[in-house]
Chain A
Amino acid sequence: MLLIPCPYCGERPEIEFSYSGQAHLVRPPRPAELSDEAWSEYLYVRDNPRGRHAERWRHLRGCGRFFNAIRDTTTDRIAVTYRMGEPPP
């Protein structure tokens, strides 16, 4: 069980959190202008890298807030967590 540093609450066990997938995906502001291909890419295509992954977590059973984390998917080590809206370090 990972130990996740919530940027608001500090380190908490993983079971307090929910995972919400790749970070920094921005919902297109005018979806109508996108082709079906471009829209489905936004919906479904994910980086899924081996290594450094920017991802979203929510401290569901804590402060309830979403935040971002950089985690290495080959070791599960979390390099850093940061608040929504902040750029990836």
Chain B
Amino acid sequence: MIVGGGGHGLGTAYYLAAEHGLTNIAVVEKGWIGGGNTGRNTTIIRSNYLFDESIAIYEHALKLWEGLSQALNYNVMYSPRGVMMLAHSVHDTQMLKRIMHADRANGVDNEWLTPEEAKAYCPPLEIGTHLRYPVLGATLQRRGGTARHDAVAWGYARAADALGVDILENCEVTGIRRGAGGAVEALETTRGLIRTPRVGVVAAGNSSVVMGLAGVRLPLESFPLQALVSEPVKPVFPCVVMSNAIHAYISQSDKGELVIGAGTDAYNSYTQRGALHVDLHTLEAICELFPAFRRLRMLRNWGGIVDVTVDRSPIVGKTPVPGLYLNCGWGTGGFKATPGSAHVFAWTMAKDEPHPYAAPFSLERFRDGAMIDEAAAAGVSH
């Protein structure tokens, strides 16, 4: 049983069926498939992380992205148009170069651009000294890009369905029943009891709630995260640009909308909405870097619930409850990991041992202090 019908959950079901020969698989989803963060993110795909452990799992995902449309026979519109990350200070430069070198050692493409090269790659970008924080350089991962978020959920669902996976929508888990030895026995749902010896919880923002049903408390908090799009315009933005220092994340969809990621609100919430000042902060940064976009207009804004760990890295693996597996904590960056996360989680569930790429992301790392602190790389300034 997989709890959670987002991309990660549906993908897990698909890989369990496609690669591990499991047959009796079901996905339960309390709403509609792909209706959570899968359908609410800004679709950025990249693997240019800082720590070796992160690079491995995100690069695993990126390699799967490259062939996903063909594997699923469904066009997920993976578009490697390049992800550029901007440096605005000496400290940013040091950190981004460290990421670049770490990526290259790990066999992941990443290169340094001068400000002028960055502008050439993304013409709307302003780099000059009239900016409060001029652009001092940028890294570019050319294989990074975007994909169509809904298509990922639908593609995995279709492919899993074709392999006999049952997908139950509007089916909320209300209890996790455990046997005398503590192991998982069954799921109680709004559509009845489902007996199962193996449960994978892939519930993103709701992970704490679902795992609480099994008596497992998590090092996790759920926050609102917003995104917004502009009205569609003709192609004007050829790549993905991220500035962690001033909080600007932007690309253009195939439909022509500028897709802009905003920040998280400060407090735990499950409301799937955020505050106006968070959007204002984001648009200040967008308008500072791309002053020609000031006259464009925000068309639609929405919110998701992101499940965040203290080191901004996920939790993927076994839990103290036999038969219960957990995949959560992807925070603000889960979409890009979808195929990799699903793939290693299926492996972990099928073999009852952590996939090598998943092993560093265990729950035990919190006990041991073996943090994979990508928050440092995300420009938490020092």
CB within 8 Å of B: which residues of A?
1-2, 14-15, 18-19, 21, 36-37, 40-41, 43-50, 53, 55, 71, 73-76
* Contact of A48 (CB < 8 Å), options: B268, B271, B367, B368: B268
Are the CB atoms of A1 and B271 closer together than 8 Å? Answer: no
What's the Cα separation between A46 and B368 when bound, in Å?
Answer: 18
Please give, as numbers and ranges, the residues of chain B lying within 8 Å of A76 by CB-CB distance: 269, 271
Q: Are A74 and B310 also in contact (CB < 8 A) when A40-B367, A44-B219 are?
A: no
Query: Lowest 4 CB-CB distances: which A-B pairs, in order?
Result: A44-B219, A48-B208, A19-B266, A40-B367
Please give, as numbers and ranges, the residues of chain B lying within 8 Å of A15 by CB-CB distance: 277
Q: Which among B208, B269, B369 has the greatest number of chain A C-beta atoms within 10 A?
A: B269
Q: Give the distance to chain B from A71, nearest Cβ to Cβ, in Å.
A: 7
Please give, as numbers and ranges, the residues of chain B lying within 8 Å of A45 by CB-CB distance: 217-219
What's the Cα separation between A50 and B268 when bound, in Å?
Answer: 9
Cβ of B209 under 8 Å from chain A: yes
Cβ of B131 under 8 Å from chain A: no
Are the CB atoms of A36 and B368 closer together than 8 Å? Answer: yes
Please give, as numbers and ranges, the residues of chain A lying within 8 Å of B369 by CB-CB distance: 40
Please give, as numbers and ranges, the residues of chain B lying within 8 Å of A41 by CB-CB distance: 217
Are the CB atoms of B277 and A48 closer together than 8 Å? Answer: no
Are the CB atoms of A14 and B270 closer together than 8 Å? Answer: no
Are the CB atoms of A48 and B221 closer together than 8 Å? Answer: yes
* Contact of B267 (CB < 8 Å), options: A36, A71, A74: A71
Are the CB atoms of A48 and B220 closer together than 8 Å? Answer: yes
Please give, as numbers and ranges, the residues of chain A lying within 8 Å of B277 by CB-CB distance: 1, 14-15
Are the CB atoms of A73 and B268 closer together than 8 Å? Answer: yes
Q: Are A49 and B368 also in contact (CB < 8 A) when A19-B267, A73-B271, A74-B270 are?
A: no
